[in-house]
Structure 1
Amino acid sequence: MPTPDRTVAGTMVQSLRAHHVDRIFCVAGESYLPLLDALYDCEVDVLGCRHEGSAGFAALADAKLTGRAGVCLVSRAPGAANAAIAVHAAAEDATPLVVLVGDVPTRDLGRESFQSGRPLSDVAKEVLTLYDPAATGETVRRAFRVAESATPGPVVVHVPEDVFDRGGADPPAGRVTLGHTVPDERDFEAVHDLLASAQRPLLLAGSTLDTVNGRTLLRQIAQRHGLPVVTSNKNQHLLDNHHPCYAGHLHNSTQPKQLAEFDRADLVLAVGTRLGQTTTRRLRFPRGPEPDQALVHVYPDPARIGRYHRVTAGFAMDPVDFLGRLARAGPPHQLPNSRGRWRDGLHAIEEDNARWIPPDSETVTVGEIASALDELTAGAVTVIVDSGTFTSWIYRFLRFADNGRLVGIDSSAMGFAPGAALAVAARSRAVPTVVIVGDGGFAMNGGELATVCERRLPVVFVVSDNASLGTIRLHQQQRYPDRGIATDLTNPDFPQLAAAYGALGLSATTATEVRTGLAKALAHPGPSLLAVRTSRRILTPYRHL
């Protein structure tokens, strides 16, 4: 029953704690001051950011690390509009996110009042408004349930600023725990038979396997069944990249030669991936709507099964549970000899692709950064990538170890990485946190370096400084040769800027300086920034201007 003196703000905080929320990202605003005050004496770590877009990106990255919805607090329309980029990214990335918006007072709703409006309604999975204090706990529970269920995504909760202080709230609400969907044994046996008879099977691993148990089971299944594993976009770290079963990573720059080899598979087990546009290279692999091979698709949301591909078998269930059942079913009675050759051949292609050969010229590319990072960390590193064609160097030449991790988003929104760095470094320091970002992306949200310095988080920012929006410049040159416009950048002195914030500022213009600078930055106990003067011509390992 509602209690007269139980306020909405207090009940919301208790409900957040009941959902295991231990960190919140925000830009403080006057429209939710009672909620901030309720958090003052709470165990939740409130991390104040410099921009709502960064706060949203940080919450999104935090969700990737915890497997739970990240939480972001923003003020009414201007703050919410700034956070829209993160809400859009969470929707495209299928990442659970809860955005709490302090709205205009109840009496001003719908009256064109100062800073009114609902800019997030078109991109969120659901938009809720809390008017009645007696529905506080229920609303929080619903927000998390919708954000985390089926295909995860962003949920926005509007609370008029005068509602926060009202009494009569219902009891705090905790997380809803659901049981696992169990497949029919005959269906599961059919999948096991498909796997036993396949000559060239391939396991396509997606983000919902990104748990300790999921990654362990993935490795066990791959080894026991002689399965090559290719990972979905931005999930390169799901299997140790040196493991003989690792076959590569599907992303925007996956090369035709490698895709042609994947096409030769006679069975694809797509486990934990939505089979979205980027991972499938716009339905290039697996081919849609009619795959070239048998396709088994496992994903929690039944609406995703068969959405773009005809499936041989589909399971709307927990993908980790699926792998656990496959592990208990045991390996086929006898693995075909061809399977070992198939697995080894795919791994050899990936290994050859990852072999760094320094260029003949003195030109420095992002490949030097990836190669040096691989050498210095042996893949035991968390790398946050921003948007840009430069990411193809990281995917190709940095091999992630068991305890390594790649953090990025499907939407490839510029400015993601600085905010994400806050979440990653605050959550774990077991391995170094390194941000790879272009000069354009850093300029968008580089102010979060101040927040990193405030917390003394040991983040290494590596800025690729080629004074250009390289990706767009590449497209311009292809379509309108020698007519570049609005893609040249006049940049500040990034090391001096970093020093002004309180970080260690370093620069590099040669391959040797890249390695020595990275080593120094990784050894530094606090925040650091290495600005690398990179080529404007050699933008990717595959395409040059």
Structure 2
Amino acid sequence: MPAVTTVADTMLRSLRAHGVDRVFCVAGESYLPLLDALYDCAEVDVVGCRHEGSAGFAALADAKLTRRAGVCLVSRAPGAANAAIAVHAAAEDATPLVLFVGDVPLPDLDRETFQSGRPLGDRAKAVWTLHDPSSTGETVRRAFRVAESGTPGPVVLFVPEDVFDRDGADGPATRVELGRVVADGRELDTVRGLLGSARRPLLLAGSALDTPQGRTRLREFAERHEVAVLTSNKNQHLLDNRHACYAGHLHNATGPGQLAEFDRSDLVLAIGTRLGQTTTRQLRFPRGPEPGQPLVHVHPDAARIGRYHQVTTGFAMDPADFLAQLTDTDVPRPRRDEWCLRLHRIEEERARWIPPSDPEVVTAGDIAAALDELTGGAVTVVVDSGTFTGWTYRYLRFAGNGRLVGIDSSAMGFGPGAALAVAARDPAVPTVVIIGDGGFGMNGGELATICERLLPVVFVVSDNASLGTIRLHQRRRYPDREIATDLANPDFRLLAKAHGALGLSADTPADVRTCLAKALEHPGPSLVAVRTSREYLTPAAVPR
């Protein structure tokens, strides 16, 4: 068998060497040789999407599940421009993404030729163009290494279309594997001393703990040392929400009352979180730059430690390994069960569903409460962007095998592509995407891809004929002057049926539970259109 030397074949072999088993794309003529190479590769599932933006979102969601860089393939300038939203989201979310862009031929670079240009901003960790076949494998390895290292993020690799078929490519690249870092004993003694004297410690858990081992280590540490656990933005699932150590979820709608309780902590262990602006509520908790209590920060990227907060001590290492080192040692401590119980009871009380006093009012809270009752939190929920997310965070309590999938940038239209990726990766657990009518209108075409693959995805569309979040801001700043936020929607139930999915509609709270139960039992794709109130957009606005 002759040696494989073309760029396209070497790129494919390099992808396989990095463990890539699924790629998301919108087919384009500028990277046809790579698509042709994939035709004969049964080990890689090629998911053809309806829009480059949702293909990129799907790759991001896939990266969250695999903990490896998601891979997206798009064509030149128009495709790259559509995929730019995923590049931005990957940077905001610290999620590894490698975006391959088939570009115009080498002689046409920078010559204003048809569909030329690189419409990507400065959010990528790196943007490169592959000119020389002899550096193919090395460039692919570098792309994955940069995307996955430090604080993960997006890398964009442009490949001119006439380069793919060229001979002379180097050998396929393999993933760079690093040794594990062990915390220094003296610095660990400092943490042990802080932990041993703290009466109200609080562990803020971030996405770097979102692995099976990380979640196990988190639970074991919390139980061993009786530490309350707070999860960072959109990482609510890191600890079973019914666990006695679960203290809540920090997000952009966390209320001042809960924040005041967190302020009472006398030690904060920020483990696996970047301590970004959304999680900390713009440095509200932990306070920045000077926290109100000792702060221990553990994150794989040393550049993130101390960026916005003065830390007592910091560790640039795997957060699960850090927790393992502390869990396996005895630390004499005062009793902290009352502190943990207090925070957990506050969260439990917040999660107790009380329907609106008007029985005809349907809110996104009815959706979350029904899902909680029907699944016990053993469900994967993809959240798009909108006011309905606040209801989801509050009234849906995730079990130990549940998962919340969202992105820090809160970009509308994330849900359909993400649900496609999640259901393709794990069809055994129900996948429910909660999305507004505005977000569905952006990338709802991916329902066709989901139906094509017969994936068990339940779409729950909050249909209030409005861009609810923007409408809420308009009301606050310019009362009675709403503009450009009304939506003329189709019949989502019939739209789902036209795609081949089960279509249901809910107009009352009782309908919501009935329809969700039917959708969850359905073996294929389904959609529940819920006619939600456009007046009661947040839990705080509902009369009870």
When the two structures are superposed, what TM-score results if normalisation uses the length of structure 2? 0.98
Shift of 1:359: 1.1
What are the Cα deviations for residues 353-412 of structure 1, in whole angstroms up to 9, with x where unaligned?
000011111100000000000000000000000001110000000000000000000000
Q: Which residue of 2 aligns with 1:520?
A: 518
- Cα distance between partner residues in 2 of 1:490 and 1:136: 49
Q: Which residue of 2 aligns with 1:299?
A: 299
The structure 2 residue matched to 1:474, chosen from 472, 497, 501, is 472
- Cα distance between partner residues in 2 of 1:465 and 1:219: 38
- Cα distance between partner residues in 2 of 1:204 and 1:19: 31
- Cα distance between partner residues in 2 of 1:165 and 1:449: 34
- Cα distance between partner residues in 2 of 1:346 and 1:512: 32
1:328-367 alignment, distance < 5 Å = 328-330=328-330, 332-333=331-332, 335-337=333-335, 339-361=336-358, 362-367=360-365
SS in 2 for 1:326: helix
- Cα distance between partner residues in 1 of 2:111 and 2:433: 44
Is the contact made by 2:379 and 2:429 (CA closer than 8 Å) also made in structure 1? Answer: yes
- Cα distance between partner residues in 1 of 2:185 and 2:235: 30
What are the Cα deviations for residues 433-490 of structure 1, in whole angstroms up to 9, with x where unaligned?
0000000000000000000000000100000000000000000010000000000000
- Cα distance between partner residues in 1 of 2:461 and 2:184: 51
Is the contact made by 2:209 and 2:320 (CA closer than 8 Å) also made in structure 1? Answer: yes
1:51 has 2:48 as partner: no
- Cα distance between partner residues in 2 of 1:449 and 1:200: 47
1:241 has 2:241 as partner: yes
Shift of 1:329: 1.8
- Cα distance between partner residues in 2 of 1:96 and 1:239: 23
- Cα distance between partner residues in 2 of 1:165 and 1:123: 30
Is the contact made by 1:5 and 1:168 (CA closer than 8 Å) also made in structure 2? Answer: no
SS in 1 for 2:382: strand
1:147 has 2:144 as partner: no
Q: Which residue of 1 aligns with 2:414?
A: 416
What are the Cα deviations for residues 273-298 of structure 1, in whole angstroms up to 9, with x where unaligned?
00000000000000000000000000
The letter for the 1-side match of 2:179 is: G
Q: Which residue of 2 aligns with 1:30?
A: 29
Is the contact made by 1:121 and 1:127 (CA closer than 8 Å) also made in structure 2? Answer: no
Q: Which residue of 1 aligns with 2:312?
A: 312
- Cα distance between partner residues in 2 of 1:58 and 1:302: 29
1:170-181 alignment, distance < 5 Å = 170-181=170-181
1:407-446 alignment, distance < 5 Å = 407-446=405-444
Larger deviation: 116-125 or 90-99? 116-125
- Cα distance between partner residues in 2 of 1:45 and 1:183: 39
- Cα distance between partner residues in 1 of 2:91 and 2:97: 9
1:185-200 alignment, distance < 5 Å = 185-200=185-200
SS in 2 for 1:155: strand
Q: Which residue of 2 aligns with 1:538?
A: 536
1:498 has 2:525 as partner: no
Is the contact made by 1:4 and 1:167 (CA closer than 8 Å) also made in structure 2? Answer: no
The letter for the 2-side match of 1:37 is: D
Larger deviation: 499-508 or 180-189? 180-189
- Cα distance between partner residues in 2 of 1:430 and 1:539: 33
The letter for the 1-side match of 2:306 is: G
What are the Cα deviations for residues 22-60 of structure 1, in whole angstroms up to 9, with x where unaligned?
000000000000000000011100000000000000000
1:253-272 alignment, distance < 5 Å = 253-272=253-272
- Cα distance between partner residues in 2 of 1:216 and 1:544: 38
- Cα distance between partner residues in 2 of 1:24 and 1:435: 21
SS in 2 for 1:329: coil
Q: Which residue of 2 aligns with 1:105?
A: 105
1:218 has 2:215 as partner: no
1:361-380 alignment, distance < 5 Å = 361=358, 362-380=360-378
Shift of 1:204: 0.3
Q: Which residue of 2 aligns with 1:125?
A: 125
Q: Which residue of 2 aligns with 1:13?
A: 12
What are the Cα deviations for residues 124-179 of structure 1, in whole angstroms up to 9, with x where unaligned?
11111111111000000000000000000000000000000001100000100001
Shift of 1:121: 4.3
Structure 1 runs not aligned, ≥5 long = none
Q: Which residue of 2 aligns with 1:508?
A: 506
- Cα distance between partner residues in 1 of 2:437 and 2:272: 34
- Cα distance between partner residues in 1 of 2:161 and 2:188: 52
- Cα distance between partner residues in 2 of 1:542 and 1:166: 61
Is the contact made by 2:241 and 2:399 (CA closer than 8 Å) also made in structure 1? Answer: yes
Shift of 1:183: 2.2
Q: Which residue of 1 aligns with 2:183?
A: 183
Is the contact made by 1:4 and 1:168 (CA closer than 8 Å) also made in structure 2? Answer: no
Q: Which residue of 2 aligns with 1:392?
A: 390
Is the contact made by 2:356 and 2:542 (CA closer than 8 Å) also made in structure 1? Answer: no
- Cα distance between partner residues in 1 of 2:261 and 2:135: 55
SS in 2 for 1:137: helix
- Cα distance between partner residues in 2 of 1:163 and 1:86: 25
- Cα distance between partner residues in 2 of 1:190 and 1:488: 56
Shift of 1:544: 6.1
The letter for the 2-side match of 1:226 is: E
What are the Cα deviations for residues 280-335 of structure 1, in whole angstroms up to 9, with x where unaligned?
000000000000000000001111000000000011111111111111223x22x3
- Cα distance between partner residues in 1 of 2:183 and 2:324: 12
Instruction: Specify whether residues 366 and 293 from structure 1 end up closer, same or farther in structure 2 by C-alpha distance, changes over 3 A only.
Output: same
